[in-house]
Structure 1
Amino acid sequence: MTHSLHRKGTKEDLKSDYVILAMRAAGIHDTTPEVKERARQKLLRIGEIMGQHKPTNIMMDRLQRFSPAITASFDNIKPVKQVLQVLKQEVLGISIVVSGLISEIQKAVKDVGLQMHTVHLSLGVFGKKELLPSEKILELTTMCGHHCVSPQSVTHYVEQIKKNKINIDAAAQELAKPCVCGIVNPTRVRQILSELLA
């Protein structure tokens, strides 16, 4: 399963929120130092490809150098489709996970001439949901699967914007910053902040 699975929002909201995750396979891409290095070079190439297609956010460069995965977020399906097209042509042999609206991803995959291997669905949240922040704040905080964007930070930046101490674009960038994986989508953060300010 992927840590980008539990993103919240309406279908319309989620049309501007996609994540690509590339990950080497344990037991395959790490059997010897040479194999591990080849896989690392392939991951770096994938990061380069993602970076060429205007991600809204991407894993920090210094993490890309040693991480077994590389991630990026996009604010529409078109660049996701372009990344998949290039990856198909290059045949790098690294697992690719795309998170977002399944109907949009299915169409993109089909258009590129690929087949989906697996589909993961979030079954929702169980337990004492009354202890959770508002749905709108959850839409923002669930963009970071490691929960590095706290509800308190969201509330803080909403207040700072109201007091004209920071503008909405800068606040969106600040809220995305703790997510070193690069899967918090600043475009969507700006939209959610606008709604919280309304």
Structure 2
Amino acid sequence: MTHTLHRMGDEDSLKKDYVIVAIFAHGINNVQPDSRAKLLKVAEILKSQKPVNMINEILWNLTPAIQAVYDDRHAFKTALRLLKKENLGISITVSGLISEVKEVAEEIGLKLHTINLSLGVFGNKKLLPSEKILEITSMCGHHCVSPNLVKNLIQQVNKNKITPEEAAEELSRPCICGVFNKSRATELIKNMFS
């Protein structure tokens, strides 16, 4: 399972949200002498396709996982094609609409190994923020983006103190793993005022 599984939104919005996570299999490929070099190669490949967000390069040497998010299907597809070509032996997990991910995988000759589904939200949903706020906060799988921060930044955008792009950049900062989709957040914020 991945922490990027629970992203919320409509189909059109989610068609601009693709996440790639590369992670060591503990005790298997993280103990090989060249494991760190392989993970850094994955990071270079992901970065080459210009993700809208990715873990900071400074942290690449400190983390057992590299994560990137794309708002463009072609960039996502190219990154996967390059990863397939390199065949580095590191586990790759992708998140996105199943229909889109399946289609991309078939186009580049990959077979889906496993499909995970989010079953939704259970419990007292009245305690949750609005769906529009959840579309933004759910882009951080560890839920480090506060609904109150989203509300505050939306108010600042509404008062023309900051732009939607600046708000999205600020919202991405608490997401330490780098899978918050700044491009999609900008679009969601703009749509709140149209």
Q: In the alignment, does 2:77 pair up with 1:101?
A: no
Instruction: Tell me the residue number matched to 2:6.
Output: 6
Letter in 2 for 1:90: E
Amino acid at match of 1:30: N
CA distance in structure 2 between the aligned counterparts of 1:195 and 1:82, rounded to whole angstroms = 29
In the TM superposition, what is the alpha-carbon distance from 1:38 to its structure 2 partner? 1.6
1:89 to 71, 85, 88: 85
State the 1:195 CA deviation.
2.3
Give the SS at the match of 1:197: coil
Q: Are residue 133 (structure 1) and residue 133 (structure 2) matched?
A: no
TM-superposed deviation, 1:73: 0.4
| Matching residue of 1:120 | 116
| Residue equivalent to 1:17 | 17
Unaligned runs of 5+ in 1: none
Once the 2 structures are TM-superposed, how far is the Cα of residue 114 of structure 1 from its aligned partner?
1.0
Partner residue in 1 for 2:28: 28
One-letter code aligned to 1:93: G
Equivalent position to 1:47, from 32, 35, 43: 43
Contact 2:30 2:36 in 1 (8 A): no
Q: Who is 1:167 aligned against?
A: 163
Counterpart pick for 2:59 among 42, 63, 72: 63
The CA deviation at 1:90 is 0.8
* One-letter code aligned to 1:58: M
Q: Does the residue aligned with 1:73 lie in a helix, a strand or coil? A: strand
Contact 2:129 2:147 in 1 (8 A): yes
Which amino acid in 1 is paired with 2:19? Answer: V
Letter in 1 for 2:142: H
Identity %: 49
1:191 aligns with 2:187: yes
Deviations 1:72-113 (A, max 9, x none): 000022111101111111110000011001111111111111
Q: TM-score, normalised by structure 1?
A: 0.95
After the TM superposition, list the runs of 4 or more consecutive aligned residues in structure 1 that deviate by more than 4 angstroms. none
TM-score (norm 2): 0.97
Q: What is the identity, as a one-letter code, of the residue corresponding to 2:55?
A: M
Amino acid at match of 2:115: V
Contact map agreement 1:154 1:175 (CA 8 A) in 2: yes
Separation of aligned partners in 1, 2:192 and 2:152: 12
Distance in structure 1 (CA, Å) of the matches to 2:62 and 2:113: 27
Query: What value does the CA root-mean-square deviation take over the aligned residues?
Result: 1.0
